[in-house]
Structure 1
Amino acid sequence: MEQKIIGRKEKITLPELGLNLVWAKIDTGAYTSSLHAEEIREEELEGKKVLKFQILMPKHQKFTGKTLVFEKYREKKVKNSFGQAEIRFLIETKIQLAGETFRTEFTLTDRSSMKNSILLGRKILRGKFLVDVSKTNLGKTYRKKK
């Protein structure tokens, strides 16, 4: 597969989460991708453990307040941006980036104090994309024209 060139920030779609063409920062220093989430909690629903959370994206008010429910999830130990180990919940969902659609993993964390709500790490990029850090939104050139 030919590797596509993307910039340091890209517009992505997470269709299963109801997010369409939102900005994500490409972070080659991070292994795992992360997504801003709030009110992250495990609950029992019809006898099954589920993960519930909200994603409140800045400048994406139409989605504010919707609670998402995932039956398939797990916990993962990650190092945060300060180098401290922490346990985060991890979900798998579809992503559309630069004309490609594939499943990938995101850890959930409160990124409200950070500039970027979504980070895409090396695990997503490996074998699929090259990053040109001098540009942004190069992925639009690969999206299908309607």
Structure 2
Amino acid sequence: MEHKIIGRKEKISLPDMGLNLVWAKVDTGAYTSSIHAENLEVVEVNGKRVLQFQALLPGHKSYTGEFIRVEHFREKKVKNSFGQAELRYLIETSFELADETYTAEFTLSDRSKMKNAILLGRKILKNRFLVDVSKVNLARQYRKK
């Protein structure tokens, strides 16, 4: 299988969250992918436990302020960028990159101090993409005109 070449930053879409072509940092040093989320809360909807949250930061141009609700989630211990273990919610959602749609796991975390609200880690990249760290937005060449 031919691997598509992507850069160190790419625009991805997360259709289940209503997000289209949002910048994501490609991080081969991180294993897990993550999305900035705020106001995370487990609520009961029609007798089911549901995780609700808002994706991205209020100042982000793709921020909608709408609550996203997911039924399938779990908690996972993740080492943050400072090496400390944190308990984070983990969800599975679809994402689009380089004209392909994939299902992948993302942790929901506070990335407000980071430059990019979305981080793509090795687990998502493995066996799919090669990363050219000297370039950005290489996936656009694969998008259908």
Aligned length: 143
Aligned residue in 2 for 1:127 = 127
Matched, 1:25 2:25: yes
Partner residue, 1:93: 93
Identity %: 67
Unaligned segments of structure 1, at least 5 residues: none
Q: Is the 8 A contact 2:52 2:70 kept in 1?
A: yes
**Whole-Å Cα distance in 2 between the matches of residues 131 and 17 of structure 1?**
25
Write out aligned runs for 1:65-144 (5 A): 65-144=65-144
Structure 1 counterpart SS, 2:124: helix
Unaligned runs of 5+ in 2: none
Is 1:51 the counterpart of 2:51 in the alignment? yes
Q: Which amino acid aligns with 1:123?
A: K
| Separation (CA, whole Å) in 1 of partners of 2:15 and 2:47 | 27
Task: Spell out structure 1 runs of 4+ moving beyond 3 A.
Answer: none
CA displacement 1:57-82 (0-9 Å, x = unmatched): 41224x1x100110011111110000
Shift in Å at residue 130 of structure 1?
0.3
Q: Check conservation: 2:35, 2:56, Cα contact below 8 A.
A: no
Q: CA–CA distance in 2 between the matches of 1:124 and 1:45? A: 30
**Cα distance in 2 between the residues matched to 1:86 and 1:69:** 22
| Pairwise CA RMSD | 0.9
In structure 2, C-alpha distance between the alignment counterparts of 1:129 and 1:56, rounded to whole Å: 25
Residue by residue over 1:31-71, the C-alpha shift from the partner in whole angstroms, topping out at 9 and shown as x without a partner, is 0000000001111122111101001341224x1x1001100
TM-score of the superposition, structure 2-length normalised? 0.96
TM-score (norm 1): 0.95
**Separation in 2 of the partners of 1:143 and 1:128?**
16
